Amino acid sequence: MIQEINQYYTDIYFNLHQSQEESISHQSVRILQMVQKRKYVMIRDIAERLSVSHNTASEHVKKLVDKGWVYKERSEEDQRKVYLHLTDAGSTILKKNTELDEEKLQAALDRLTINERKQVVKALELLSEASK
């Protein structure tokens, strides 16, 4: 079952992924995802999640800040804490690197019945919830 899911996933990603316009590393995508998915993310969280040193995570984040994809905000309650947030440009680049191309996806969905579309959505919803 695992191999089948992985095969289907990679087929979907390969066939329906958006074209790459901007060069971005896998590590950078992962960091942008963390910042998007979690309310409060600090460099130490990124270092822990990526299994890298604090300095390495800090360098990755600095590059994202320099590109205008992430900004830092100091906590009002605790000035020692600095939280990361996506900019609009960061959200756009993340979307292009992690989401499916809407037109390609719509074309694929158009080949399915309404019931099949609902099954696809339900299956992805279940897997998404189980992954959390």
CATH number at residue 27: 1.10.10.10
Beta-carbon count within 10 A of 123 CB: 10
Beta bridge partners of 100: 17
Beta bridge partners of 104: none
Let me know whether 78 and 104 are in one domain: no
Write down the pLDDT at residue 7: 94
Let me know whether 26 and 49 are in one domain: yes
Please indicate whether residue 116 or residue 39 has the higher confidence score (pLDDT).
Answer: 116
Let me know whether 48 and 89 are in one domain: yes
pTM of the entire predicted model: 0.81
Let me know whether 78 and 129 are in one domain: no
The candidate with the shortest Cα–Cα distance to 94, out of 54, 129, 64, 58, is 64
Write down the pLDDT at residue 92: 93
Give the Å distances, CA to CA, from 3 to 8, 72, 98, 131.
Answer: 9, 40, 21, 17
Number of domains in the chain: 2
**Tokens in use for 49?**
């999640």
**Tokens in use for 38?**
């979690």
Write down the pLDDT at residue 28: 95
Banded model confidence at residue 23, pLDDT cuts 50, 70, 90: confident
The range of the structural domain enclosing residue 55 comes to 22-99
